[in-house]
A and B are shown apart, each in its own frame.
Chain A
């Protein structure tokens, strides 16, 4: 078990190395001369050469990479030429906000998905089942940014129940209640597609278990349908559900980008999009490294969690 985790962890090293190379090289593919861009069209050859030397651009590529990697490993992701702040200082608070949104969405998606899936599987081919299958198909193909706009129209503009923008209201106390109210619509928007996938998966997994003999035995010995479903079936159907839910955890890191944009949520995705539009390459790169690192670690954590929950997947 611990061997496996260590092995998986070591397996990440080449992947992370590859990621750093790809991101470093992508800087080099950007059209245009960095020095000329910084100094403007009036720069002399001498000043250009001087700047190139001070930026280390006159050195061989592998030396530049090694220096860049060294700085990166020490948390120095460079300065944003547009926001005039260290990149890491820009990204960390945004990432915290994204985690709040992604976490709430994950809870919603798993709770909702598993509930709908079990309810649908309990009465296969009933109206409830058909409705949940149809709904999960439609929601699964729904553009998240569109869903966000529809929710704003209904709940913020029409019913005026919920705020449509930001994390806190400008005149509010900035407390947890205020945050929760602002969190509802973006979290529902982000959670919809993963919830649809989890619903489908849960339904399939529970249906498969319900067809097995020991369920018939449990029913024959007089267990109530609720006990059969919740105790016997759900427990056996657990592993595939956890696997698919864990996959969604990674997806949510990307899925939040649309709800952050639509609801003005000050997260990593929104920052990434505005930096892309402003062509702030430093921030884009820093965000790329950051996202890849988090995504890889989340997927590893999901694998390990799976292992703990389902002894059958444990390597011998």
Chain B
């Protein structure tokens, strides 16, 4: 194949295309860097992720061990910047450690669903016909449930817990992400350069991997980033309901659930983790919007 291209004098064209692609990515990065909202979002995500990774170093207190002496201390108490919860545990420390859990249960199902969607969506979009039909009709069954309820139902069958929660959310997202990939694949497939590649003798594998895949990645990336924000809220919700991450593991949803029990005495225990959830979800939305602007050539002047 490579030899054929060289013989036809096509190698420079291929290189040129690669150069075009890197120029496109560079341009996208420049657009993204100029987008103030997106940069704020990226900064927040970086900060929360950094704190979560460095939790053993930066966390001022143990996130799980109960301390009977300082229960329900209000925010700004010396030594406890955000106060303590009903068991005397430092809320800031639990938020920092909780970032590890909450980010993972938000990101992992979305990425897993994205990978499955890439496979299914490319298959359906490229092959069309019966393969497309059977994949999409099967997914229609999953579209027949509201998202959150489907996740609850799956957990209902396989049982509560953090791992099962991740699995349930991934299953829920597959149909949505697959639809995005399939739509992108179908619209790219009809473009002239795919015809040209086929005319030059490129096989199915080459067309799908070299030509379709790079072109469906950006819509999927944009969609997935926005979904992560949604999933952080959704997985916090499952944990709040007692179906996901189980206490005493620090998780933002679990923290809101615990705080609910002492709402009438110390509202900060439930409200502070909720604010963190909103801020992080917003941050992922900002980044998703920024990526959309940056990766969509039509939005550039």
B148 touches A149 (CB 8 A): no
Number of interface residues of B (CB under 8 A): 42
Given A138-B282, A257-B148, A292-B145, are A144 and B237 neighbors across the interface (CB < 8 Å)?
Answer: yes
How close is A174's CB to chain B, nearest CB, in angstroms? 26
Q: Is B241 an interface residue (CB 8 A)?
A: yes
Q: Which of B160, B233, B236 contacts A276 (CB 8 A)?
A: B160
For the complex, give the distance between the alpha carbons of A88 and B286 in Å. Answer: 44
Contacts of B281 in A (CB 8 A): 141
Among listed B122-130, B202-210, B212-220, B269-277, interface-contacting one: B269-277
Highest count of chain B CB atoms <10 Å: which of A146, A150, A258, A287 = A146
Chain A interface main SS type: helix
B149 touches A146 (CB 8 A): no
B157 touches A284 (CB 8 A): yes
A145 touches B237 (CB 8 A): yes
Q: Which of B149, B271, B274 contacts A253 (CB 8 A)?
A: B149
Q: Is A262 an interface residue (CB 8 A)?
A: yes
Given A141-B281, A277-B242, A295-B144, are A150 and B274 neighbors across the interface (CB < 8 Å)?
Answer: yes
Contacts of A277 in B (CB 8 A): 160, 242-243
Given A150-B271, A153-B263, A273-B243, are A141 and B285 neighbors across the interface (CB < 8 Å)?
Answer: yes
Contacts of A309 in B (CB 8 A): none
For the complex, give the distance between the alpha carbons of A275 and B153 in Å. Answer: 10
Given A15-B140, A143-B278, A276-B243, are A149 and B146 neighbors across the interface (CB < 8 Å)?
Answer: no
Give the contacts of B139-194 with A (CB-CB under 8 A). Answer: 140-141, 144-149, 152-153, 155-160
Q: Is B138 an interface residue (CB 8 A)?
A: yes
How close is A95's CB to chain B, nearest CB, in angstroms? 13
A143 touches B148 (CB 8 A): no
Number of interface residues of A (CB under 8 A): 47
A284 touches B263 (CB 8 A): no
* Residue interface mask B235-272, A partner, CB < 8 A = 1: 01100111100000000010011011001100100110
Q: Is A142 an interface residue (CB 8 A)?
A: yes
For the complex, give the distance between the alpha carbons of A34 and B160 in Å. Answer: 19
B278 touches A284 (CB 8 A): no
A19 touches B141 (CB 8 A): yes
How close is A260's CB to chain B, nearest CB, in angstroms? 10
Contacts of B229 in A (CB 8 A): 141
Contacts of B241 in A (CB 8 A): 145, 257-258, 261, 273
Q: Is B300 an interface residue (CB 8 A)?
A: no
Q: Is B3 an interface residue (CB 8 A)?
A: no
Closest A residue to B138 by beta carbon equals A18
Give the contacts of A283-297 with B (CB-CB under 8 A). Answer: 284, 287-288, 291-292, 295-296
Closest A residue to B265 by beta carbon equals A157
For the complex, give the distance between the alpha carbons of A56 and B57 in Å. Answer: 59
A272 touches B137 (CB 8 A): no
A253 touches B146 (CB 8 A): yes
Contacts of B256 in A (CB 8 A): 143, 145-146, 149
A146 touches B271 (CB 8 A): yes
Contacts of B282 in A (CB 8 A): 137-138, 141
Contacts of B156 in A (CB 8 A): 272, 275-276, 279, 281, 284, 288
Q: Which of B152, B157, B160, B242 contacts A272 (CB 8 A)?
A: B152
B149 touches A258 (CB 8 A): no
For the complex, give the distance between the alpha carbons of A255 and B263 in Å. Answer: 22
How close is B8's CB to chain A, nearest CB, in angstroms? 47
Q: Is A26 an interface residue (CB 8 A)?
A: yes
B157 touches A29 (CB 8 A): yes
Contacts of A253 in B (CB 8 A): 146, 149
Closest A residue to B275 by beta carbon equals A146
How close is A110's CB to chain B, nearest CB, in angstroms? 18
For the complex, give the distance between the alpha carbons of A143 and B257 in Å. Answer: 12
For the complex, give the distance between the alpha carbons of A137 and B283 in Å. Answer: 11
Can you sample 17 A-B contacts with CB below 8 Å? A14-B140, A16-B144, A18-B144, A19-B141, A141-B285, A142-B278, A143-B236, A143-B240, A143-B253, A146-B274, A150-B271, A150-B274, A250-B146, A254-B148, A279-B156, A284-B153, A295-B144
> Which A residues have a C-beta under 8 Å from some C-beta of B?
14-16, 18-19, 22, 26-27, 29-30, 137-138, 141-146, 149-150, 152-153, 157, 250-251, 253-255, 257-258, 261-262, 269, 272-273, 275-277, 279, 281, 284, 287-288, 291-292, 295-296
> Which B residues have a C-beta under 8 Å from some C-beta of A?
137-138, 140-141, 144-149, 152-153, 155-160, 229, 233, 236-237, 240-243, 253, 256-257, 259-260, 263-264, 267, 270-271, 274, 277-278, 281-282, 285
Given A146-B271, A251-B147, 4 extra CB contacts under 8 A: A18-B141, A137-B285, A149-B256, A253-B149
